[in-house]
Amino acid sequence: MRDTSYIRLHWFARLLLWGGWRLHARWIGLVVAGSVLQGVVAPRIAIGTAMPDLTLLALACIALRTNPTISAWAGFLSGLIEASIQDQLMGSLIISRVVAASLTAFLPMVMAPDRRLSAVASITVLSVLAQGLFYLFAPSAVGVGFVRTILQGLVYNIGVVLLAFGLFRRLLPSSLLEDDRRYGTFNL
C-alpha cells in the first residue's frame, strides 16, 4: 500500500528550500571572481615584478573555511577556468589545483580556521603545493624564473591575506559550514 504520510516536493522547490546552496553560491562566486580579477586587476596592482595570485588567494580562503570536498571542487573549477581562458595546460592546472586545495583543506584539523595566522599558513601551503605540482607537470611552460616569481607572489599574497582576512571570514562564515554539515554537500 502506498505511504501517503509525507508529500515529496518538486525538485525545484527542494532546491529553493535546500539550505546548502548559500555556501555553494559563495565559494563558486569567490572562485569565479578570483579568476576574472586575476587577469585584469592583478597586473595593475603589481609591485615591481611581484604580483598577487588572486585565484590562489580565493582557494586558500575556501580551503581554510570549508571542507576538503568543497576545496577539491573549487580547485577543479579554478583550474578549468584559468586553463580555458589561456587555452593551455588544462590537465596540469586542474590536477595541481585539486590536489593542493584538497590537502590544504586538512589544515583546520591542526589549527584554528578563525586565526589570521592560519590563513597565512593556508596560503603558504597552497601556493607551494599548487605551484610546485604545476612546475612538475609542465616545467617547460613555467620557465626558469619560476622560483623567484612564486616567492614574490607568495609574499604579496601573505600581505593581502593579512589585510583581507576579515573580509574572507565574512564571505564564508562558520554558520554556512554548519548548514552544509546539516544538509550535506550536493545532497539535494
Partner 1 sequence: MRRYLWVMVGLALAGLLLGVQHNRYAQQGTGDTLAQTVRGIVVPLQKGVYAVSAGLVQFFNTLVSAQHAIAGQHRLLEENARLRQELKRMRALQRENETMRTLLKVRPELPHEWLGCRVIALYPQQQTLILDRGTRDGILPGAPVVCGEGLVGVVAQADAGSAIVRLLTAPRVAVSARVLNSSRVSSGFCEGRGESEILLHMLPPEAPVQVGDSVVSAGLGGKYPSNIPIGVVVQVWLDRQYSLKKARVRPYADFENLQIVLVQRKEHRR
Which positions lie near partner 1, rule CB under 8 A?
Answer: 32, 35-41, 43-44, 46, 49, 51, 67-69, 72-73, 75-76, 79-81, 83-95, 98-99, 102-103, 105-106, 140-146, 149, 153
> CB of residue 3 vs partner 1: minimum separation in angstroms?
31
The amino acid that residue 98 corresponds to is V
Q: Which of 121, 62, 64, 59 is nearest to 93 (CA)?
A: 59
144: Cβ contacts below 8 Å, ≥ 6 apart: none
**CA triple 23-169-98, angle to 5 deg:** 60
Q: Residue 66 and residue 74: Cα distance in Å, rounded? A: 10
Nearer to partner 1, 73 or 168 (CB): 73
Which 8-state DSSP code applies to residue 45?
Answer: G
* Cβ proximity to partner 1, 129 vs 165, nearer residue: 129
Residue closer to partner 1 (CB basis): 93 or 165: 93
Torsion region of 52: left, alpha or beta (phi above 0 gives left; psi -120 to 50 gives alpha): beta
Name which of 63 and 119 has its Cβ closer to partner 1: 63
Q: Of 81, 79, 65, 45, nearest to 160 (Cα)?
A: 45
CB of 110 to partner 1, least distance (A): 14
Would you say 83 or 120 has its CB closer to partner 1? 83
Cross-strand pairs, 50: 47
| 63 contacts 112 by C-beta, under 8 angstroms | no
